[in-house]
Amino acid sequence: MPKIVNHDSRRIQLAEAAWRIIRSKGIDEVSVRNVAEEAGMSLGSLRHYFATHSELLAFSMRLVSDRVESRLRSMEWNGGPRQAMEAIIAELVPLDDDRLAECQVWFAFAGKAIADPSLGAMLREVHDSLHALFRQLTDDLIRLDLTKPGIDAELEAKRMHAMVDGLVVHGVTCPERLTGERIKEVVSYHLDRILR
């Protein structure tokens, strides 16, 4: 079905144009007109892929979580549970330019979601699946008897999720203070503190 593949790849190309505008000019500048121009496409062609501005925005936001999810799914496990935990968190935080771009775009959407219920619902959906992931990872570590005494699975999952998202915020707002190296050190320190 080459036509469908082409349709999807055009939508991704347009969403990536939206990402570039978000990063350089801000999310308020993401109009169908500006995105068409950035992607080198006519407004009429864009309308073929996205009927509305909201649809374009929703797809552009979803592309961030889809990319993270697809990297997490295709991960190859070598090393123990600690290495797995580090590798998973590494996919969520701005350790390199690609992931910094994703985090910036995500963050811009999160700011906009405060007064936009449909973006807010999408954010909460991703929040819930990340929370479930952190809870499952914590349960695994406890089950394998790798954690220090006194760990509470639910509070630990909430704390780790908050720490990771806080590192995203700091990496996005203060990239020269919270470099990739610094972020890795904090994550590693956290794992030292919870694991035997």
Does the protein bind a copy of itself through residue 161 (CB under 8 A)? yes
Q: Which tokens is 145 given?
A: 């008897």
| Binding flags for a copy of itself, 62-101, as an x/- string (CB under 8 A) | ----------------------------------------
* DSSP characters over 110-140: HHHHTT-HHHHHHHHHHHHHHHHHHHHHHHH
Could you say which of 86, 90, 120, 184 contacts a copy of itself (CB under 8 A)?
120
Query: Which residues in 127-146 contact a copy of itself (CB under 8 A)?
Result: 127-128, 131
Segment lying near a copy of itself (by CB under 8 A), choices 1-9, 38-46, 69-77, 105-113: 105-113
Query: Which residues in 2-41 contact a copy of itself (CB under 8 A)?
Result: 22-29
Which ranges in the chain belong to alpha helices (H)? Answer: 2-24, 32-39, 43-49, 53-73, 81-90, 97-113, 117-143, 153-173, 180-194
Rg over CA atoms, the chain = 19
| 3 state DSSP class of 96 | coil
Segment lying near a copy of itself (by CB under 8 A), choices 57-65, 66-74, 104-112, 137-145: 104-112
